[in-house]
Amino acid sequence: MSKIPSNYMEQVYAGWLGKIVGIRLGAAVEGWEYQRIKELFGELTYYPATYKRFAADDDSNGPLYFLRGLEDRRGEVMTPQDVGEALLNYAAYEHGFFWWGGYGVSTEHTSYLNLRRGIKAPDSGSIATNGAAIAEQIGGQIFIDTWGLVAPGNPDLAADLAAKAASVTHGGNGVYGGVFVATCIAAAFVEKDIRKVMEIALSHIPGDCEYTRVARAVLNFHDTKPEASWRDCFQFLYDNFGYDRYPGVCHIIPNAGVMVLAMAYGNGDFEDTLNICNMCGWDTDCNVGNVGTIMGVLCGIEAIDYQKWLRPINDLCIRSGVLGDMNIVDVPYGACYIARLAYQMAGEEIPGKWKDILENRIHDCHFEFEKSTHALEVRTVGRDNTWHFVNTDESAYTGDRCLKFFATRLEPGQELYLHRRNYYWMKDFSDSRYDPCFSPIFYPGQTVEVAVGVPEYGDDIEVWAYARDTRMGKDFTGEKVIIKRGEWQKLSLTVPGYEGGLVDECGVCLVAPTEKRRKGFQLVAYIDDLHYSGQPDYTVELKNEVKEYWTERHQDITQMTRMRGMAEMAERGMRIACEEEGEWYTGCHSWKDYDASFTFTPESGNEHLALFRVQGAIRSYAAGFVDGKFVIQKNDNGYTTLAETDCPIRMGETLTVSVSVRGNKIEARCAGIILNVEDTSARPYLEGEVGVAVRNQSTAVVERIRVKGV
């Protein structure tokens, strides 16, 4: 008998989507108390704020990035230190990702610095190291959802994984909260009574801990006072377990009480449970996000209204880790990534259509999840239109589902561009939540493919695949074809390599009929299997980039993500400096074999390096100059030298460092010097981004980075 439920894929998508819904629902009133929410909104049963696009949030950063500790682990069994290294690897130094409130104030900040200073997990988050006030804040449960999603129907496994993950940054009730949430999620895959789900979760934490005490108190109030409302229960919670009774910025116990209250009084209804949780106030985005995951799994996608909850999100999940292309993902990607790990852990074959998607097309727009849209957008040329798209099972190019697009009020021959965003600019967001920054997910040299169909009841339409570099005003178009009613065609376009490029849109152009038909100016089409492939062939010309000023603290160079250090625009490019180790990255984390060259001018100091196969802040290779030597180094949570030769450099002299990587073989070249290395270790880095670095009070001006895949 299968360990993983037969409808697991649908449930994991609904659970992860429920998390994103809950975060957005609570984000605008985060930190508010019940009375303030009631006075302003009365009953808050909808998103209280409108965003151009919802920027990154710590509650969605943590779950997916910490989960990579399972994939990146050093041994057969995941340890807390594996998750600790995921934190060090995917979070930038003291910006983005989560709240950097200071050592001894922010739990995660404190634990991150402990890890950097060599304190291993779980000591990095323990009460013994940090004290109970820090260790028992809310973060132990808000980042934990994926450990339940990856263990469907297996609360014991979820509890084990969650305890390890939570212990990296928390201790005591902070860990118990993580176990409670993860086991609720795991149980909800197979148990559909929310009270039984909570009882299963409570059986996995100590009966005498404070977390159990608040949960039992709330449930007892619910059971013994049937005439009381959830508001009465919240007053009881406020009086007996309020913020005034616990130390720190955001203690876990009051917020645990809110979650249990919402699930008890929500009576198994997705919408009612989330709304009650949000109305109670306190750490709303965290609480409603956790409850959203539990209820999404429990109730399924059919319980999550598309128009009210999903269309404003449009499947987009912006993140703010240190690798820029990994910050542009959609909700289906998250569900598929979680599911791939779940099947691997269970030792089970991925079923049916999902096998190819999870193994080979995890980043594609495949539309196989009901109600999914993969964050596609529409750009129109000419008059304003009435347009809409919706996921459908009417037809598909592959699989069972696709996206149906329709528009009215069209001019004859009007062009509509249905596309995926490959890059985001500061102007695309309403705020700077958790400081996102990006590198593109598609590059010159690569190919975009997309399938387009026309329903039997539609009209023949002209279409072509396209890509666009908005900044440089470059448009690339594939072959223009006519698709007749009842037919599907696969379109493709390869963007030629060019310098200074940034392709920020890829998709399909749909052209309205040129003659008015009996049904008027209308257009309807199916879209499926939007796929990227091929090798990059491009150059980042740093003099063409700009510094975006999101806030006083969030200022970054376009296309580049910053681990640590200061960057300013100079006449010839980007001037970088750092008192310790400053690193900047760009490109795609999945690039394998490539040739890359880095042109820069050292201005001061002794350490100037090109980075390649960058997998994060603690995993990469470097080639360049260190203390009068030309070196190849490897970063495995600290740099070690793999090869070196004497090569003094002169300040102000422009240099080009070139590297070639083929499997585990590395060649680095500069000024006639060649170094060759074969990484025969147990963990060679076989894919990753590119970047630049300066260390120990060094400065340099970076002019260009050239990459050509092979």
Same domain, residue pair 477 and 614: no
Please report, rounded to a whole number, the percentage of residues in the chain having pLDDT higher than 90.
95
Q: How many CB atoms lie within 10 A of CB 548?
A: 15
Domain contains 202: yes
Q: Which amino acid would we find at residue 140?
A: G
Domain boundary among 318, 338, 355: 318
CA 676 and chain centroid, separation: 36
Buried b (16+ CB within 10 A) or exposed e, 161-174: bbbbbbbbbbbbbb
Q: Could you report how far apart the first and last alpha carbons of the chain are, in Å?
A: 44
Please report, rounded to a whole number, the percentage of residues in the chain having pLDDT higher than 70.
99
Question: What is the Cα–Cα distance from 564 to 109, expressed in whole angstroms?
Answer: 15
Q: What is the mean pLDDT of residues 34-39?
A: 97
pTM for this prediction: 0.97
Q: Which of 601, 603, 604, 649 is nearest to 625 (CA)?
A: 649
Q: Round the average pLDDT of the chain to a whole number and report it.
A: 96
Residue 7 has pLDDT above 50, yes or no: yes
Residue 349 has pLDDT above 90, yes or no: yes
Question: What is the Cα–Cα distance from 312 to 303, expressed in whole angstroms?
Answer: 16
pLDDT of residue 409: 82
pLDDT of residue 383: 73
Same domain, residue pair 553 and 493: no
Which residue segment(s) compose the domain that 635 sits in? Answer: 539-709
Q: At 69, is the pLDDT very low, low, confident or very high (cuts 50, 70, 90)? A: very high
Q: Which of 593, 545, 624 is nearest to 707 (CA)?
A: 593
Q: Which of 367, 370, 409 is nearest to 527 (CA)?
A: 367
Residue found by looking up tokens 């007749």 in the block: 484
Q: Which amino acid would we find at residue 602?
A: P
Domain contains 333: no
Residue 648 has pLDDT above 90, yes or no: no
pLDDT of residue 412: 84
Buried b (16+ CB within 10 A) or exposed e, 466-487: bbbbebeebebebeeeebeeee
Domain boundary among 501, 533, 565: 533
Domain boundary among 488, 510, 533: 533
Structure tokens of 625?
Answer: 């100059």
Looking at the structure of the chain, the number of domains it has is 3
pLDDT of residue 516: 56
pLDDT of residue 621: 98
Q: What is the mean pLDDT of residues 147-158?
A: 98
Same domain, residue pair 290 and 413: no
pLDDT of residue 382: 77
Per-residue pLDDT reduced to its tens digit, 494-552? 999 999 989 999 999 999 877 655 445 689 999 999 999 999 999 999 999 999 999 99
Q: Which CATH number do you get for residue 589? A: 2.60.120.560
How do beta strands 581-586 and 561-564 pair?
Answer: antiparallel
Contact by Cβ (8 Å): 652, 687: no
Domain contains 363: no
Beta bridge partners of 531: 449
Per-residue pLDDT reduced to its tens digit, 403-419? 999 998 888 888 999 99
Q: Which residues contact 311 (CB under 8 A, 6 or more apart)?
A: none
Domain contains 370: no
pLDDT of residue 1: 44
Same domain, residue pair 64 and 123: yes
Same domain, residue pair 279 and 398: no
Domain contains 346: no
Query: What share of residues in the chain are helix, strand, coil (percent, to 5)?
Result: 35, 30, 40
Question: What is the Cα–Cα distance from 279 to 219, expressed in whole angstroms?
Answer: 18
Domain contains 332: no
Same domain, residue pair 42 and 96: yes
DSSP letter (8 states) at residue 33:
B
Contact by Cβ (8 Å): 215, 321: no
Q: How many CB atoms lie within 10 A of CB 645?
A: 11
Q: Which CATH number do you get for residue 281? A: 1.10.4080.10
Q: At 291, is the pLDDT very low, low, confident or very high (cuts 50, 70, 90)? A: very high
Q: At 629, is the pLDDT very low, low, confident or very high (cuts 50, 70, 90)? A: very high
Same domain, residue pair 106 and 205: yes
Same domain, residue pair 171 and 214: yes
Per-residue pLDDT reduced to its tens digit, 441-482? 999 999 999 999 999 999 899 999 999 999 999 999 999 999
If one compares 501 and 197, the residue with the highest pLDDT of the two is: 197
Q: Which amino acid would we find at residue 135?
A: A
Q: Which CATH number do you get for residue 496? A: 2.60.120.260
Domain contains 348: no
pLDDT of residue 148: 98
Same domain, residue pair 172 and 77: yes
Same domain, residue pair 311 and 164: yes
Same domain, residue pair 509 and 565: no
Per-residue pLDDT reduced to its tens digit, 71-124? 999 999 999 999 999 999 999 999 999 999 999 999 999 999 999 999 999 999
pLDDT of residue 593: 98
Q: Which amino acid would we find at residue 659?
A: V
Domain contains 70: yes
Same domain, residue pair 529 and 546: no
